[in-house]
Structure 1
Amino acid sequence: MSAGKKHDALNSLIATVKDESGAYPRNCYQAQKSLKVSPINSAAVKKASKYLTRAKSNKKKVNKEKRVFNAFTKNPEHEARAVIFANLKKGDKCIAKVGKLITQKRKELKKRESTLDGYVVSLKNAAKQCEDARTITKRYAHARDEKFYHDAKGAYNKAQFIERRLRKTIRNDKVYLSNGASAKVKDIDNRLYKTTECLLDVDKRISAMYEKSRAKESDLAASELKEKERVLAEKEKALAAKELALKEKIEADASRGRDYEDEDEGISVFIELNSAYQNELKVERE
């Protein structure tokens, strides 16, 4: 190759290296710019990482061309030398800053996703508890057994506790409040809305079950009272029969000339026996 062609080839290579060195900080600045969105999102971090990879590739291509740097060593005053080294210096400074920034943003994203995922898990649990309560209220809607009422009420209370605690938490949670447009927050809002709807429905159903269980208790109490009255009536009837039998016995004894010392003694015996039976009757009634 002639000296002229070698010179032209070297100049062409220097121009290419100069362009690559200029792309080095430009791509890094694009990476930095991609991270300036608020709130930060995974798409922005991926975009920044992509530009950062390009920037590193630019520097690698520049450093690979040893012929260019050898030429600069021989000719330190070459007009491209200062430009290329200035671009490398700006790129290196940007790379160090953006690399740390991407790491920081990834940590923020991980923490945010962990927080929001925790809310989703809680709402899934609340939804399950509420649906369990709803299933019980549907399946045993006409049952009067208090067990089903308490089972439904227990599941309902658990779901309600989770729902209320979550609402209180997200009211002051910067992660939730600053990511209202994200798909995950929208999913949380949707789950929260459905859980609240479920709770309102189950609350009505549980109230109906409670009324039925109370009606059963009233019916049972009335039945028990009626049975007690029946038993008491039978006992009073039996005591009355005993009392009548006692009177008849005393009268019969008197007509047969029972050996009482006098009429007063017969009367006192009658009173004593009658009083005993009256006390028995009183005890039975009580």
Structure 2
Amino acid sequence: MHTIISKSGIIARFLENGAELISLKNHSGKEYIWEGNPKFWGKHSPVLFPIVGTLKNDSYLYNNQQYHLSRHGFARDREFSVLSKSENSIVFSLTDSDETLNVYPFHFELQVEYTLNENSLKTRYRVINKNDFEMPFSLGAHPAFALSENFEDYSLKFETNQELAYHLLDKDLISDQTSTLHLTDKTLTLGYKLFENDALVFKSVPAKKITILENGKPRIKVGFSDFPDLGIWTKVGAPFLCIEPWFGYSDSAASNGNLIEKGGIQILNPKKTFEAAFSIEIF
């Protein structure tokens, strides 16, 4: 089922399944979100919870019991309810069920709030721990932005010229291999060669705003000051780019599987609420 919000001619469209943003158009009808063509990747902007990335052997240990979770967790494939809606804002909610408890033994509520403000869409996440004990989780965004020109016509502009170290993935797990983005005038020219080994994963990334430039002109700015980690990804040959603010990332091959000790994991105290937000500004 599709739901629409709008503001000043900007229209955003969502699926209740996964609380997923599937379209963001400006007043002239220009689309900024990837269409989800399964030839390349059949998603648009999935919500990643309660893990980000891939677990070693698709499993983890909690209280000496093994559980299985597939890549990026289950939220993106679950039906959310609509808590509230106005002309320019909507709040989706997902709570635990017998199915989720089988793979993630915690009582929780995940809220995803979208708000349109002039030329930007703000996404706010709330994770509510309903348990009487600590709840480990990861959380991430995965928006894919449509690129209508040749991929090489695009570049990324960062806030500074600071070199950015990133980890490479090996069979979906974080590898020991790192590389560095070298910027010129705060800018990185895009090319598919960057993504031949899958996504670029940044732990504790210092950059908190990234602008996608099309032939040198700003088209999309992603601001994620609340988020410590970041993924940048596309499939070679695909006309989209994902800029993904994260709390957490994939396991490494050396992971011991203990969820509490997982790299990038967040620990939420009993009966407490976690909040984080990021924004997509369109030009």
For normalisation by structure 1, the TM-score amounts to 0.19
Higher strand share: 2
For normalisation by structure 2, the TM-score amounts to 0.19
Higher helix share: 1
